[in-house]
Amino acid sequence: MASSAGLLTLAVLLGTASALGTFYGQSVNFMPVQKNKDGTLEVSFHYRQNSRASCVNDLAYRCETGLCTSLESTGASQTDRDNSGQVRWCQSEGRATANVPHNESSVTLRDSGCCWASNVGGRANWTAQAEVDLGTRSDTHTFNRCPVTATVASLRAPQNCFSRLRLLAHDPDGDPVRCRFAENASAPANVELDEGECTVRAAGQLAVGVHVFELLLDDFSAQNITMSYANGTSAVRKAFNASSSDNSAPLCRVPLHFALEILPPLPSCVAGHVLPQFLLQTPSHGEVHHASVGEKFQLYAEAQAHHANINDFQVSGPLNMTKEYKKGKFGKAEVTLSWTPQLQDLNRVAPLCFTAETQDSQSEMRCVVVRVTRSAIAKGKAIVTCSASQMTVALDKASMPDIDTSWLKLRDPSCSLTANATHIMASMSFSTCGTKVEDKGDFIVFNNEIDSFEQPNTVITRRRTVSIGFSCQFPKTSSISSYYNLHRSDYVFTESSFGSFSYSFDFFTDNNFTDKFAPKAYPLEVKLMDMVYMGIQAQTALPDVTLFIESCKATPDDNPESSLFYDLIHNGCLKDETVKVFPSDPMSFQFEVQAFKFTGNFDQVYITCSVILCQAGNPVSRCAQGCLQDPARRRRRSQAMETGSHYITQGPLELVRQSNAEKKDSVKEDAVVPPTASVPADPRHSGSGSGGWTLLGSNISTVVFAGLFVVSLVVLALVVRHMTRKRRADDHSSLLVTEMES
C-alpha cells in the first residue's frame, strides 16, 4: 500500500502453537480505528488461529520498528475444539492494540511461521500481511473499516462431493471486496477462485489430502473518494472497476489462511443423506445480525443427515461465546450459540462461522457477522408480501414512534423508500436494491433489510439504531395442490436470477389449443393412431423471457427416470415423425403426436418434458441454440441469461379397449396386412426391458391366437403320428415273438 510516511510493522511471534505440522490457518479482523485525546491513533485487531492438535494461549505481539507509542496484547484463548475424542482441531482468539503517531498514514501487520499441517502441495512456511489505511474518507468523514472474514478451524469435503466453498467477505462500509491469492502463494491444483464472489470452486477432481490456501481480501471504494491524513497529505482513491487493471490501492488488506481436507469419496453426495444439510431455521450465509453491549445475543442453527450421526457443530466465533448442542429425531441436530458483548466490543463487527459435523463428512460452511452497538437495535413491525418476482415491505409507523424515511435506507441506498400516513414502504425485485439470495436446501430465500444511517457531517445523534430484516422464501420445486390425484397441476420453481416462475402442462381437445381437458377427465382415454394435443405455458412477471422445450419423452409410468422410455423431442430436435409443433407466443409451446402404447403389459403413457426459460434475444442462450444434433456444442449455462432445466410431467393417457365390431374389422384387416407390418422398435428408443414402442392394435391378439392355434394343431398331428408308429412297432414285435415260440 502506497504511503508518504513510514509503515508501522507488527511482527507476530508464534510460540509452540506453530510447531511443525499443526498450523491450520488464521484470520485477522480490525476494529474501527480510534483517535486518542493526545492525537495518536488506536489500531486494535482480533486474531484467530486454527491448529490441528492443540491451541496455545500465550501468543505474543511486538512492534519491531519502535514506532509504537504503546502496545498491549491480551494473548489468545481457546474458543472451540474437537469434541470427538480425536483432538483433530481447535481455534483460539486474541486481541492486540497498538497506538500509532498521528503522522502515520497506514499500518502494516506482518505474520510468518512454520509449519502448515502435512499437505498435498508440500507447503511448510507461511506468511501473512495485513494493511490498514489510516486516512479519513471524504464520503463518510470517518476512518475506513476493513473487510471481515474467518473460517472454522477444520474444513473437510469428500472428494466426489466438493464443488465450492463460500468464504465470508463482509465490508462494514459496503465497499467492493476482492479475494486473491497472496503474492507468495498459489492456487492448489484443480481449484479456481472467484475473486468477486470470494468463492473457491473445483475445476477438476482434487487429490485426497490437505490443501492449503493463503488469501488476501482487499476492499476498494465504490465511488471516487479522497483520503485525508493528519499530517496534512491526501490521496485520491478511484472507484473500483472490475474490468480494469488500473485501480487504486486497496483501503485495507486482510489475510485469510485456511486448510481444506479432501476426504475419500462417499457413496452419496445428496445433501441431507450422509452429508449434513442445514434446515430452514438456520441463518443464511452473509447475514448481518445485531447485538448490544451487556445483553445476551443468541444464534440458532439446525441441520439434518438421515443416514449419518451429527455429533457436533464446529464454530468460529468471538471469545466467550458458548455453544449448546442438542440431538433430535430423524437425524436432526441443533445448536444455540450465546454471546454477551462487553464494552471493549463496542462497534465491533465480529465474524461467526459454523458447520455441522459427522465422523466422515461436514456440511457447507455458513458465516454471518454480528454488529455490536451500545443500545438495543430498534425492531419495527413489518409486513412482507411475496409475489412471483418481487417482494414488498410495509413498516408500521406506530410500532416505531418518531420514525422518518429521511434516516432509513435499504441495503442498496440508491433504492428509495416511500411513506404514507401509516406505513413506510418499499418494493424490489429479487435481483435489485441489494437483495441477497441464499440456498437453504429445499428452499431459496431472498432477503434485504431496512437500516438507519446518519448524514456524513453528523456529530451527535439522539436516534436509536434501526435494523429491520425481511425476506421471501420459496420451495425450489413445488406442485400446487389439486383436488384430483391424477392430473398434474402447475409446477412452481425458484431461481436466484429469475425469481419464482411456473409452468402449466395440459392436454387439449383439438389443435386450436383453447379447450383443456378438465382434471376430472384424467386418465384420458385415447385410441391408437388418434392425434393427441399438448400445450405448455410458462408464467413469470419478468419481461422479455422466452420458453424453450429441450426434450419430451414418454414413459409407461409417472417416473421421469424410468429405464423404459421413448423420445419425442431430444436436445431440442424432433425425434418422432408424427410430432408437429404449432406456432405460438414466446411463453407457450403447442404440439401434437399420434397416440401409441408401449409393447408389453402397459396400458398407460405419461409425457415428461424438460423446460428452460431464457432471456429473450440473447444469442448465446440455450433457447437461441435450438436443435443440437451434437450435445457437446452446447455452451456453458449462464445463470443470468437462462434457468436450469426443469422436468414437468402430465398424464396418463390410457388405451381404450376395442368393441366387438372393431375386433371383427381388425380380423379382416389382418387377412390382408401381415403381422410384420407393425412398426418395429425405433432405434432412437434407448430404454431397456422386454417392452418396446410400436403402433399396435388389438388385432394383434387375434393374430397371435390364430398362430398359436395352428401351431397346436401341427404339434397334435405330430404326436398322433408318433403314437401310431410306436403302436405298429409294438404289434410287429409281439408277432415275431409269437412265431419264434411256436
**Model-level pTM?**
0.58
Q: Does residue 508 sit in the same domain as residue 645?
A: yes
Tally the domains of the chain: 2
Instruction: Tell me if residue 435 falls in helix, strand or coil.
Output: coil
Amino acid letter for position 670: D
Q: Does residue 489 sit in the same domain as residue 607?
A: yes
Whether 580 is covered by a domain: the verdict is: yes
Q: Does residue 541 sit in the same domain as residue 620?
A: yes
What is the distance in angstroms between the CA of the first residue and the CA of the last residue of the chain?
A: 133
Task: Locate 710 and state its grid cell.
Answer: 395352428
Dihedral sign for Cα 34, 40, 41, 47, please.
negative
Residue 356: C-alpha distances to residues 274, 309, 329, 627 (Å): 12, 10, 16, 44
Domain boundary residue, one of 418, 450, 475: 475
Q: Does residue 450 sit in the same domain as residue 557?
A: no
- Using 50 as the pLDDT threshold, list the residues of the chain that sit under it: 1-20, 58-59, 455-463, 477-486, 639, 660-704, 731-742
Burial class (CB in 10 A: 0-12, 13-18, 19+), 424: buried
Q: Does residue 545 sit in the same domain as residue 452?
A: no
Whether 642 is covered by a domain: the verdict is: yes
Cβ 666 vs Cβ 698: under 8 Å? yes
Residues in the chain: 742
Whether 539 is covered by a domain: the verdict is: yes
Tell me how far apart the alpha carbons of residues 418 and 425 are, in angstroms, rounded to a whole number: 5
pLDDT at res. 113: 82
Q: Does residue 489 sit in the same domain as residue 403?
A: no
Whether 165 is covered by a domain: the verdict is: no
Cβ 534 vs Cβ 517: under 8 Å? no
Whether 453 is covered by a domain: the verdict is: yes
Q: Does residue 451 sit in the same domain as residue 485?
A: no
Q: Does residue 660 sit in the same domain as residue 689?
A: yes
Domain boundary residue, one of 475, 510, 526: 475
Residue 489's CATH number: 2.60.40.4100
Q: Does residue 605 sit in the same domain as residue 501?
A: yes
Tell me how far apart the alpha carbons of residues 388 and 390 are, in angstroms, rounded to a whole number: 6
Q: Which domain holds residue 417?
A: 382-475
Whether 514 is covered by a domain: the verdict is: yes
Domain boundary residue, one of 421, 440, 475: 475
Residue 413's CATH number: 2.60.40.3210
Q: pLDDT digit string (tens) for 138-197?
A: 988 889 999 999 999 999 999 999 999 999 999 999 899 999 999 888 899 999 999 999
Tell me how far apart the alpha carbons of residues 227 and 234 are, in angstroms, rounded to a whole number: 5
pLDDT at res. 513: 94
Q: What are phi and psi of 490, to 5 degrees?
A: -60, 145
Q: Does residue 402 sit in the same domain as residue 541?
A: no
Instruction: Tell me if residue 35 falls in helix, strand or coil.
Output: strand
Q: Does residue 544 sit in the same domain as residue 446?
A: no
Whether 142 is covered by a domain: the verdict is: no
216 CB-near residues (< 8 Å, 6+ apart)? 129, 179, 180, 181, 182, 253, 254, 255, 256
pLDDT at res. 490: 66
Q: Does residue 626 sit in the same domain as residue 495?
A: yes
pLDDT at res. 68: 66
Whether 509 is covered by a domain: the verdict is: yes
Cβ 94 vs Cβ 129: under 8 Å? no
Rg of the chain, C-alpha, whole Å: 36
CA 660 to chain CA mean position, Å: 58
